[in-house]
Amino acid sequence: MRPKRPAGPGGSSRSASSRRRGAAGRTYSAKARRAGQESAERGTRSRFVVGRIALAVVLVATGAKLVHVQGFQAAALSARAEQQRTTTIDIPAQRGSIVDRNGAKLAFSVETRTLWANLRLMRKNRAEAEKENPDSAESFDTRVAEIATFIARQVPDKTTEAELLEEFHDEDSSFTYLVDDVKPSVADRIVEKYPEIGFEKRARREYPAGEIGSNIVGFANWRMEEPDQSKHNIEGLAGLESARNAVLTGEPGRQVVNTEQGTDVVIPGTEREVQPAMPGSDLELTVDSDVQYNLQQMLSDYVAKARADGGSAVVLDSKTGEIYGLTSEKTLDPDDVDPDLMTEKAVTQPFEPGSVNKLVTAAGAIEDGVTEPGDVHRVPGSIKIADHTVRDAWDHGTQPFTTTGIFAKSSNVGTLMLAQELGPDRYMDLLKKFGLGSRTGAGLPGESPGYVPPRNQWSGTTFGNLPIGQGLSMTVLQMASMYQVIANDGVRVEPRVVAATRTPDGGRVAEPEPDRTRVVSAQTAGSVRNMLRATTQDGDVYESGTAPQAAIEGYQISGKTGTGQQIDPQTGAYSNELYNITFAGILPADDPRFVVGIRLDAPDTTLPAGSSAAPLFKQVSSYLAQRYEIPLSDEQAPVVPLIRRQ
């Protein structure tokens, strides 16, 4: 309790003057307060007005900017935004088929699908769903487990549930391919049930004939172009699949997809086709797959019987140069590719042919009038060319060989005697016309031109080697092409393996006509064919040719054997143990239909099969005669003397 102050005079606590001063003070204080309040209210009103003005200015500016953006920049900004979220990708074109001359398919494509998952988007969507509804939302782990189970059941031969889960839970990946080679109907079923899964259109290349003709056809496979995963297609990697890839491929289509901003990861279900793909054209080959199969089997078996390191063979149409069959002892397996077999040795591996090359001298000598088939020549057992002595394969003194006998009995000495009369320049001209030293133009990748030494580089002994098939090289296809000249009345027709292309609309476009070269006259070709019939004669020493094993009953056969020394890889000199054993022949000689060329690589020459390829020629030619019902010859070839009896 506050204490009372003592009273002043009159018994009151304050005087009258004091009361007046107090009343006046109270009056002044009230006025002051009212004045302060009024001033504050005026300040507040001023600030409010200023704020309203500022806000109005901002709103006006914003509205003007919005009008500008919407009115003048809308199209540009929309296009920029669209570019940021869309990507154009290729739609693979259906690859063309490869068929043989009878329409049998050797290669074709089957449409498939490859499933993929956008893991980043799946994780994001699952996380947002769990955040919005934590009690009932399905977790990422639960969802992918369900998807993995379903996909594994749909394609049990392609993947497993465990493999799929491993892909789904790869924390380092934002995108992954899940399964290849899925049937389109199965892929549609999976994507319809689980929209977060997408697929790409692809194709599986099928080779229904397996290894039949595989070294000609080659193979193709998927190739992804990095780093742009949107560009991919089947690409030919060997054989005609590679050489004619542009024709087979067609034109890819175009598809627009939405992608996550800043990435190339596709958002499932956003694909829109804008341009359809154009299928590739089919290739129609000259090859007969039945001939090819039998040629492969016969050659492979014979190589094994001869214990050879390898071998090659070819069958040509004598008139058109079309390749009916061409193979080596080992063929490519399209399902298990061996890189060493990706090219065909019959066109890529040249060799020194030996005596089959004596055909050039025979044709030139007859063409230029150096000799006639029945002329007799005194042929010694050896001949010296510069500082090099050449001998025949058997010892003999000087003997009266006929011109026919020189070639039917394969006399090195007699051949060189005729070649010298022909002359080196004319001989070189004939080598070129027969196609040696140049690629045949057959259309197979990796083809070798072989080797013929340039004329200005010949030494004194060069002309002692070339006419007997040493010092130059050729492929089996080139060798057969030489004999096609003689079978075709002296005209060389460029060999070929592709007959035509078949366009997607069903049209057939034949290949350009092959080049033709007149090498010798028809009369000369006929004379040489008749001379070489004696190669298959059987009789005594005066009448027996080098290959009676090549004779086929009822048919006239022309042909020539060859034994060419190989280079010893250890010494770099000609080997006395390693040989190329060759045979080239015409079926039938009186009305040519086919030419067959064979090479055995380093066979065991102590074995009957290793010392001659004539039996294999007979086997192949007998099959051809049966398959194509070739008429029997009108008459048996006459037996002619090869060495005149003393």
Of 460, 454, 423, the C-alpha closest to 437 is: 454
Q: Is 14 helix (H, G, I), strand (E, B) or coil?
A: coil
Amino acid code (one letter) for 598: I
Pull the structure tokens for residue 103. 């329409």
- Alpha-helix residue ranges (DSSP H) falling in 198-349: 214-217, 239-243, 245-249, 289-306, 345-348
Q: How many other C-beta atoms lie within 10 A of the C-beta of residue 539?
A: 13
Of 112, 352, 110, 342, the C-alpha closest to 241 is: 342
CA atoms of 151 and 295, how far apart (whole Å): 45
Q: Is 320 helix (H, G, I), strand (E, B) or coil?
A: coil
Inter-residue contact 344 to 211 (CB < 8 Å): no
Q: Which helix (H) or strand (E) holds 91?
A: strand 86-91
What would you measure as the largest C-alpha separation in the chain, in angstroms?
194
Q: Is 6 helix (H, G, I), strand (E, B) or coil?
A: coil
Inter-residue contact 169 to 100 (CB < 8 Å): no
Cα–Cα distances in Å, from 256 out to 80, 192, 229, 299, 646? 15, 20, 14, 53, 90
214 is catalytic: no
Prior bond of 512 cis (ω within 30°): no
Catalytically annotated residue among 328, 355, 410, 411:
355
CA atoms of 170 and 254, how far apart (whole Å): 31
Pull the structure tokens for residue 481. 């092409």
DSSP string across 174-232: S-EEEEEEE-HHHHHHHHHH-TTEEEEEEEEEE-TTTTTTHHHH-EEEEEE-SS-TT-E
108, HSE (Cβ side, Cα atoms, 13 Å): 12
Pull the structure tokens for residue 399. 């003997």
Residue 494 CB burial class (10 angstroms; 0-12, 13-18, ≥19): buried
Question: How do strand 282-285 and strand 98-99 relate by DSSP bridges?
Answer: parallel
Of 546, 545, 548, the C-alpha closest to 563 is: 546
Classify the C-alpha dihedral 403-407-409-415 as positive or negative: positive
Q: Catalytic residues, which ones?
A: 355
